Amino acid sequence: MSARAHKLINRPDTIVDEMLEGFCAAYSDIVQLTDDGLITRAQSKAQGKVALVIGNGSGHEPAMVGWVGQGLFDVNIAGEIFTAPGPQRIVDGIRAADCGGGVLVCVSHHAGDRLNAELALELCEAEGIDHVELVILYDDISSAPKGQEAERRGTAGLFFVWKMLGAFCEDEGDLAAAKALAEKVRDNTRSLAMSLSSCASPITGEVMFEMADDEMEIGMGLHGEVGMGRQKALSADETIDLMLPPILEDLPFAEGDEVLVLLNNSGSLTLMELFILYRRVAQRLDEAGIKVYRSWLDAYATTQEMAGFALSLCRVDEQLKALWDAPANGAYMKQI
């Protein structure tokens, strides 16, 4: 499957600015674009609550711009395409978010995201901005073996952290409790992704990696990082039968557990394909005695037009179920 080299953009060097302008114009009831390019809530949260900030590379829309809003993030700092923003911009984001209850800086674990967030925290310390904490989040079982979870990268499954942490911080003034909640969701979440195609960099127009028409790759990262290896493309059921068992074994998820399920479209799969994939996930979970509490099927974190998906599971207890069901109003995450 070929990547789509021609994209409907104007100029490679204005992609991010123009995209943010369009996004914030389209959803002006939810978000606003500040003069220095930060995405903030149209109405900020109550004073004294923990504010949530995330910086990330662009090119994954609707992540993370679509997650700013009530019950979700306070500020998103969008970097260049697939490139984490630099430390000074993260500090700007921290200042903009702070509403007196401390600021939790969330990092979807990749070298650039972590290094720049660490530098930003050092700058905060030097500038006397206190009550700022960092939480490193990861979920992709293909990126490091069990036992080395902290080496893993952050992918689509962090969806669960954003939703539940957002709900928690809407009414929470304790920064340490917020960080602990984020870690709790992270530690109950596992993901694995696959792709049938490559994608083209919107900057260079070049494909990010080569992939033959009859191949698939299991363990795909969010930026076209290749995973565990290539194989012949399989059917929907065969693909789920290959991907679900290692996810279940990794946590491990056990009979009697309740889970949230995400099938995240990485770009150009059809909803038809996601439904067929989900059918098999539901069958297999039922056989394993694992109960699905809620499921979500859509494109939440994309890699341009890559034809693939991530399967993510999160084990929930009563606290997490209540947080999942709490209201949220982001442009691409709504819960009534």
Partner 1 sequence: MTADQLADLIERMAARLLAERAVLNRLDAATGDGDHGSSISGALALAVQEIDALEEPSPQAIWLTTAQALLNGMGGASGAIFGTFFLKGAARLQDAQRISQVDMAALLEAGLAGVQARGRAQVGDKTMVDALAPAVAAFAAAADFPSAWRAAADAAAAGAESTRDMLARQGRAKYLGERAIGHVDPGATTIALMFAAAADTHTAE
Catalytic residues: 60, 223
Task: Report, in Å, the least distance between residue 78 CB and partner 1.
Answer: 10
Tell me how far apart the alpha carbons of residues 160 and 163 are, in angstroms, rounded to a whole number: 5
Q: Select 116 or 265, whichever has its Cβ closest to partner 1.
A: 116
Token pair belonging to 89: 């911009």
Task: Report, in Å, the least distance between residue 208 CB and partner 1.
Answer: 6
| Span interacting with partner 1, options 41-49, 96-104, 199-207, 280-288, rule CB under 8 A | 199-207
One residue of 2, 88, 231, 270 binding partner 1 per CB under 8 A: 88
One residue of 76, 143, 189, 329 binding partner 1 per CB under 8 A: 143
Contacts of 82 (CB under 8 A, 6+ apart): 57, 58, 59, 201, 223
Task: Report, in Å, the least distance between residue 65 CB and partner 1.
Answer: 16
Residue 203 interacting with partner 1 (CB under 8 A): yes
Q: Select 41 or 109, whichever has its Cβ closest to partner 1.
A: 109
Residue 39 interacting with partner 1 (CB under 8 A): no
Q: What is the DSSP letter of 103?
A: E
| Sheet of strand 328-330, all strands in order from the earlier edge strand to the far edge | 69-70, 328-330, 333-335
Binding mask 165-184 for partner 1 (x = CB under 8 A): --------------------
Residue 308 interacting with partner 1 (CB under 8 A): no
| Span interacting with partner 1, options 44-52, 85-93, 169-177, 186-194, rule CB under 8 A | 85-93
Question: What separation, in Å, do the N-terminal and C-terminal C-alpha atoms of the chain show?
Answer: 39
Tell me how far apart the alpha carbons of residues 301 and 156 are, in angstroms, rounded to a whole number: 6
Task: Report, in Å, the least distance between residue 5 CB and partner 1.
Answer: 13
Q: How big is the chain, counted in residues?
A: 336
Peptide bond into 87 cis (omega under 30): no
Contacts of 148 (CB under 8 A, 6+ apart): none
One residue of 84, 156, 216, 263 binding partner 1 per CB under 8 A: 84
The count of chain residues that interact with partner 1, using the rule CB under 8 A, is 34
Give the residue from 152, 54, 162 showing the smallest Cα distance to 111.
152
Q: What is the 3-state secondary structure (H, E, C) of 231-296?
A: EECCCHHHHHHHHHHHHHHHCCCCCCCEEEEEEEECCCCCHHHHHHHHHHHHHHHHHCCCEEEEEE
Q: Select 196 or 226, whichever has its Cβ closest to partner 1.
A: 226
One residue of 21, 29, 127, 206 binding partner 1 per CB under 8 A: 206
Tell me how far apart the alpha carbons of residues 306 and 108 are, in angstroms, rounded to a whole number: 20
- The binding site for partner 1 (CB under 8 A) comprises 57, 79-89, 110-112, 115-116, 118-119, 142-143, 153, 201, 203-204, 206, 208, 219, 221, 223-227
